[in-house]
Amino acid sequence: MAGKIRIRAQLDGDTCEVKALMRHPMETGLRKDQAGEPIPANYIEEVTVTHNDKVVVHGYWGAAVSANPFLGVRFAGGQAGDKVTVSWRDNTGETGEGETTIR
């Protein structure tokens, strides 16, 4: 399941504001389905935000993050037209990525 990320990056003065909405179920592994069987854990473990291929944010998440998580990040040094990428990797090895240019 290569996850989709909706991403937007805008300049606000000398700061770039990145907003990303990631499509992911974020299952803890503690819930059960209607038949009483456990739903396997499936959650994002690592998130990375890059600006022109330089890492500006690298974080580790866990099962406590809600489904379809939203990430907001601000960083200095962006210019209009620069590339911003948000990517994730989950506990099952699946990945997702979204890319945009700063407006």
pLDDT of residue 1: 45
pLDDT at residue number 83:
98
Model-level pTM? 0.92
| 1 or 12, higher pLDDT | 12
Say which CATH architecture domain 5-28+39-101 belongs to.
Sandwich (2.60)
Residue 97 backbone phi and psi in degrees, to 5: -150, 145
Predicted confidence at residue 33, as pLDDT, reads 96
Boundaries of every domain in the chain: 5-28+39-101
Q: Determine contact, residues 47/86, Cβ cutoff 8 Å.
A: yes
pLDDT, tens digit (0-9, with 9 covering 90-100), for 26-69 = 999 999 999 999 999 999 999 999 999 999 999 999 999 999 99
Beta bridge partners of 27: 42
Report the candidate in 96, 98, 89, 100 with the shortest Cα–Cα distance to residue 45. Answer: 89
Give the residue ranges of DSSP H helices in 38-101: none
Please state the length of the chain.
103
Average pLDDT over residues 14-19: 97
